[in-house]
Amino acid sequence: MHRSGALMAWNVFKFCTALRSLGSIMIFLVLGVIGVSYYTVVIINYGPSLFNGGLDSLIALAVLVLFHALLVMLLWSYGTVVLTDPGGVPMNWRPVMDEERGESDPLTELDDSVNPRVRVCRKCNQLKPPRCHHCSVCGRCILKMDHHCVWVVNCVGALNYKFFLLFLLYTFLETTLVTVSLLPHFIAFFSDGEIPGTPGILAATFLAFVLNLAFALSVMGFLIMHISLVLGNTTTIEAYEKKPELRWCYDLGRKKNFEQVFGTDKRYWLIPGYSEEDRRRMPELQGLDYPSKPDLDLQDL
């Protein structure tokens, strides 16, 4: 029995290691899809159309300007979510005491099965703030953890959730633009008429269209799901944990739920960054200012 448990732990460890290695491959896959799309749209299709004159030049200019603008935002968001720490538990963190309710020091009662107001990570052996979960891939506790994403080689948590959502948004818009702009060429590929271009150009156009269509459809589903989670102030993990018949204690209303992720300054909503005022509110958004009690009231948030 002991051997079986040890074998299972070893297999889980190997699986987590494999996920970390897979992340590097995913980065190159993302860059590869972007490279194929850029070559197809800019180099061999709409770039040359700029010199045709008339309506063709105007359409080509509009496609190229929009393509590059979305590409810049996509790469900016992607780089930010990859490089931004999702948020770890500060050293020696302890819950905020509520003296009016006569709470004792939670550090004297580390057994969270006895004291439900204290959550302890069995792997990190430290106190856990509300909405904090341990990531087996990263090997640490993540604040307001949503999930570990192999596509960004990082956990998605309190500090980079906004950047992840912007990455999804701009990926969807970019892949949709590429799909729509290559649709006439894709239709011509199956037409009976003569198609201009070498077999290599036709193959690249066909491949770019199929890849971008697949990414646009899949990312659209994830984007819709995460928008609903943001408006309900819920993470992916919490969506499976919470009881649907009870009112979610973190739900502050759609406007405030949205602002907890994207900040209060509208000028920064579509940019992978925060204003100075919103950065000062980060401890509140991470959950580090929440008092230690089992059922949080709305006024405590």
Q: Categorize the per-residue pLDDT at 36 as very low, low, confident or very high, splitting at 50, 70 and 90.
A: very high
Residue 218 has pLDDT above 90, yes or no: yes
The predicted pLDDT at position 119 comes to 79
By the 8 A CB rule, do 287 and 130 touch?
yes
pLDDT: which is higher, 36 or 7: 36
Q: Categorize the per-residue pLDDT at 55 as very low, low, confident or very high, splitting at 50, 70 and 90.
A: confident
**Residue 149 known to be catalytic:** yes
Beta-bridge mates of residue 156: 147
256-262's contacts with Cβ under 8 Å and 24+ in sequence apart are 257/230, 257/231, 257/232, 257/233, 258/230, 258/231, 260/233, 260/285, 261/161, 261/162, 261/165, 261/230, 261/285, 262/162
**155-179 as b/e, with b when 16 or more CB fall inside 10 Å?**
bbbbbbbbbbbbbbbbbbbbbbbbb
Residue 128 has pLDDT above 80, yes or no: yes
The predicted pLDDT at position 268 comes to 94
Report the percentage of the chain scoring pLDDT > 90. Answer: 42
Is the pTM higher than 0.85? no
Q: Categorize the per-residue pLDDT at 1 as very low, low, confident or very high, splitting at 50, 70 and 90.
A: very low
Nearest C-alpha neighbor of 131 from the set 290, 299, 300: 290
pLDDT: which is higher, 56 or 33: 33
Report residue 127: phi and psi, to 5°: -65, 145
229 half-sphere exposure, CB direction, 13 A CA radius: 22
Using CA atoms, how far apart are residues 136 and 9, in angstroms rounded to an integer? 11
269 half-sphere exposure, CB direction, 13 A CA radius: 8
- The mean-pLDDT minimum among 58-67, 112-121, 162-171 falls in 112-121
Using CA atoms, how far apart are residues 214 and 56, in angstroms rounded to an integer? 27
The predicted pLDDT at position 28 comes to 87
Rank 36-45, 128-137, 179-188 by mean pLDDT and report only the highest: 36-45
Max CA pair span of the chain? 83
- The mean-pLDDT minimum among 118-122, 224-228, 261-265, 295-299 falls in 295-299
pLDDT tens for each residue of 245-301: 577 888 889 999 999 999 999 999 999 999 988 888 776 655 555 443 333 332 332
The predicted pLDDT at position 174 comes to 97
Catalytic residue selected from 132, 138, 141, 149:
149
Rank 128-137, 236-245, 267-276 by mean pLDDT and report only the highest: 267-276
3-state secondary structure of 70: helix
pLDDT tens for each residue of 60-105: 999 999 999 999 999 999 999 999 999 888 777 777 654 444 444 4
What are the Cα distances from residue 218, in Å, to 14, 15, 175, 225, 279? 28, 25, 11, 11, 32
> If 0-12 CB within 10 Å is exposed, 13-18 middle and 19+ buried, where does residue 100 land?
exposed
Rank 38-42, 125-129, 133-137, 191-195 by mean pLDDT and report only the highest: 38-42
The predicted pLDDT at position 42 comes to 94
Report residue 142: phi and psi, to 5°: -120, 130
The predicted pLDDT at position 2 comes to 41
Nearest C-alpha neighbor of 180 from the set 75, 78, 66: 66
By the 8 A CB rule, do 294 and 116 touch?
yes
By the 8 A CB rule, do 160 and 84 touch?
yes
- The mean-pLDDT minimum among 55-59, 108-112, 161-165, 228-232 falls in 108-112
For the chain, the average pLDDT equals: 79
By the 8 A CB rule, do 265 and 254 touch?
no
